[in-house]
Structure 1
């Protein structure tokens, strides 16, 4: 049963996630205008997105763990303050350097706010209530993306690109006022020394790998992989590791994050490629494109609402793999689309099904990735799932876009990239189904009763 204080906690924490999701969509719409406003040419536009994505993905794990050490509410509030300041800086930017600095700071704020808000939710609620709350979180994140796609063009047209930054500020101020009164501080009971070598190698490794993929720089990607290998070796020997090896050995944590990586990589990449298809092949306007995505996006909010309930009935393993399969199979018809606008008759229903599966999969992999994790490691588990989300969303688009670019004909490249999307998703469905198969306590003594019941 949810009491009055918990309802306000929901309003604050879910409102923060919704705001970040809306802001991301609106800023995507405003990219050309924002670039022109600060003198950033077409070649520099991707960096408005990448300047956010690099720190958002690279620092999420570190901040998730710091929240366990120093207080989740404290880090959440610091993230909100940083977001407000960065949004004001971006809104008043008069040159490219200032705008990109603001985006970096917004990415840092997101890396603080998303894992801490998630861990605060999971420590405030438990049992079936937690699953319904996580379902509502998934629904609002999806709704935020859809709302941003639908209203972003109109808002930017009426008020200019700076509104995409300023819209955050009043929401953040409201959250900052309410949070100290309704959210209690939580942290690990025992303070331990921070694993500095682990923090440096994992953050540097993630940043280098993501930069290497975005910029197609093999040396950077190699350096990143070597740093991540060094991180793993450090964690195995550290007396107080940033990521205890045992938590990754939990099948729920391991396979929940594998599923999340694929789910969050493939769907945004599909949306990016389909946007190009709609505008450059079918000749739709940006407003028409927004409607094509926005209407199914709003409808998919229902998936987040029902996901928590069906997880309780059918189990997270069944719901996770079924929703991933729905996401992958809904993409399959897009592989056969042609140049006629009659393709919309196939595309829009496919988006309805795919978005529904995507949102349900987000809820299911979040529940899976945090199942049975001790209270003192909830921030770490939340950081892992949030990092998976950010890394997947950052890497999927450039990888599939590069695959599409290998073909001379745009439509052929679109078909090839989406074929890879479908294949990877369905292979992952099989691996996750096998990886989450029930195990006896004797065979897997590290699994808690709660974890066994959930999986």
Structure 2
């Protein structure tokens, strides 16, 4: 057993309040972009004459670009500076969104979504590194709570905001909304964070590891989305899986031989290793990250709510999740992360099982409330606790790499979880009517509940609490 203390802050923000607002705003924008475009897809298809496969690529381009580049974005944050990567990521978001609002064909929108994904892959690890490097002790826990609450608000309110914008202004508005947000983020970061000063010796990066690692993650994400959309036994899916495996093997070989590995040596394995936290983030994505998709199906296709009403249905989960992130941040200083991870995973499991029992075609919203509340408590608790755990397993110089590894696991876990739960739900049979769709959603929620029990087991076995400010890591 090794005791790992919280890393001390590596930078001093000139305006801590503005710094926290910038970091929370970045998380809000990333989370909004994950879901806001879904509501706009019917309008995009009608205006630009885009078929279902084209609309799928408008979604998947963002997922593949983000999943493929998070690892590289995290390491670039350490080597080139968190402030630089934050500004670059926000600028990419703003510029690509401006092009998206003016796009006249589907190919441009696919490219825009890919560039947005690249921006997210730079912005997410940079924001986490800035947060962990700027704040320490109880202040860091509170900052994680605010950051997590912003993400919860974005994920749960993306559909609502998208519905309002599309209803009032048409689909380009879901891209235009990023422009003022990106501008405010750039301005706040310039004012709040001191300039990065990495030395020239710190800038080395092994090109073979960078290319093979990025290709492996991107191909793996693409293979999962392709398999979910077109079938796992299709030739194209098999080719993508094989290519991802080859690139992954090349990445491992390059990392072993490189004097400047993309993932710093010792970061993953050993008593301080990040692998247990990566497992937690992957399971979080597979369960908490996939369940909202099935709730959206239940609200829109089973209960036949409008997009705006569906967005309103997610307000309660958003508020509860935000409150849970704040409570977790406060309690982490007294309890440590392990009890909070366990409580969150078990609360989420009970919530998912309760939703499976109450989500039916003839049931009203009130019947779903207990399950939604428990699931949201678990989502907020695990989200905040797992990023605190990731920060505690890396020193100040490796915060970007740590967040890149953990967020890559989160992205791949979300893609795999959604693909697996979609298969469990048998959504291809949904055309038979709402009864078969409802039973499929129930099966997916039951499976998600079982996976959350597995998440609780991982947390219990792999994390040991030594004191409020340190963790004994097995």
TM-score, scaled to structure 1:
0.91
Q: Would you say the 8 A contact 1:331–1:418 is kept in 2?
A: yes
Which of 231, 235, 241 aligns to 1:221? It is 241
In structure 2, distance between residues paired with 1:90 and 1:386: 26
Question: Does residue 18 of the first structure (1) align with residue 28 of the second (2)?
Answer: yes
The 3 A distance-change label for structure 1 pair 258 and 129 is: same
Structure 2 equivalent of residue 105 of structure 1: 115
CA deviation profile, 1:78-113 (whole Å, cap 9, x unmatched): 111111110011000000111111111100011111
**One of 300, 304, 312 as aligned partner of 2:325:** 304
CA RMSD of aligned residues (A): 2.5
From 116, 121, 132, give the equivalent of 2:126.
116
Q: 1:51 aligned to 2:78?
A: no
| Deviates most, 221-230 or 5-14 | 221-230
Say if 2:27 and 2:151, in contact at 8 Å, map to a contact too. yes
Aligned to 2:221: 210
Q: 1:253 maps to which residue?
A: 274
**Cross-structure match for 1:8:** 18
Give the C-alpha shift of residue 311 in structure 1: 1.1
2:8 paired residue number: none
What per-residue deviation string (whole Å, max 9, x for no partner) do you get for residues 285-319 of structure 1?
32332222222212321111111111111110111
Structure 2 residue 65 is the aligned partner of structure 1 residue 65: no
- 1:452 counterpart residue number: 471
| 1:446 corresponds to | none
Match of 1:234 in 2: 254
Q: Which residue of 2 aligns with 1:419?
A: 446
CA contact (8 A) 2:336 2:471 kept: no
Deviation by residue 1:249-283 (Cα, 9 ceiling, x = unmatched):
14562212211111122123211122222332233
Deviations 1:29-52 (A, max 9, x none): 212112322221123222111011
The 2-side partners of 1:319 and 1:244 are apart by 28
* Aligned partners of 1:266 and 1:396 also within 8 Å: yes
Partner residue, 1:156: 166
Residue 456 of structure 2 corresponds to: 429
Contact 2:283–2:455 under 8 Å retained in 1: yes
> Which stretch shows the higher mean deviation, 388-397 or 10-19?
388-397
Q: Is the 8 A contact 2:82 2:196 kept in 1?
A: yes
TM-score in terms of structure 2 length: 0.88
CA contact (8 A) 1:119 1:378 kept: yes
SS at match of 1:401: helix
Contact 1:147 1:298 in 2 (8 A): no
Once the two structures are superposed, residues 351-390 of structure 1 have per-residue CA deviations (whole angstroms, 9 ceiling, x without a partner) of 1221121021111110111214111111111212222333
Contact residue 333 and residue 346 of structure 1 kept, 8 A? no
Question: Are the counterparts in 2 of residues 273 and 414 from structure 1 also a CA contact under 8 Å?
Answer: yes
For structure 2, the residue ranges without an aligned partner over 5 or more in a row are: 1-11, 228-236, 430-435
CA distance in 2, matches of 1:236, 1:369: 23
- 1:56 Cα offset (Å): 0.8
Name the structure 1 match of 2:264.
244
- State the distance in 2 between where 1:380 and 1:316 align: 21
Distance (Å, rounded) in 2 between the aligned partners of 1:439 and 1:245 = 25
Give the Å deviation of 1:124: 0.6
Corresponding residue to 1:315 among 333, 336, 344: 336
Q: Counterpart in 2 of 1:402?
A: 423
Give SS of 2:50's match.
coil
Instruction: Output the CA distance in 2 between the equivalents of 1:143 and 1:201.
Output: 35
Q: Report which stretch shifted further, 354-363 or 89-98.
A: 354-363
State yes or no: 1:132 paired with 2:145: no
Label 1:387 to 1:3 Cα distance change in 2 as closer, same or farther (>3 A). Answer: closer
Greater shift, 46-55 or 286-295, is seen at 286-295
Query: Matched residue of 1:437: which SS?
Result: strand
Please give the per-residue CA displacement for 1:203-223, whole angstroms capped at 9, x wherever unaligned. 111111111111111221232
Contact 1:38 1:99 in 2 (8 A): no
Deviations 1:216-252 (A, max 9, x none): 1122123213322332233233222111241101456
Task: Quote the offset at 1:403 in angstroms.
Answer: 2.2
Cα contact 2:215–2:244 (8 A) shared by 1: yes
Q: In structure 2, how many angstroms separate the alpha carbons of the residues matched to 1:261 and 1:290?
A: 26
Tell me the distance in 1 between the aligned counterparts of 2:437 and 2:191.
Answer: 54
Query: In the alignment, is residue 42 of structure 1 matched against residue 52 of structure 2?
Result: yes
Shift of 1:131: 1.1
Q: What residue ranges of structure 1 are gaps of 5+ in the alignment?
A: 441-448
- How far residue 192 of structure 1 moved from its aligned partner, in angstroms, is 5.0
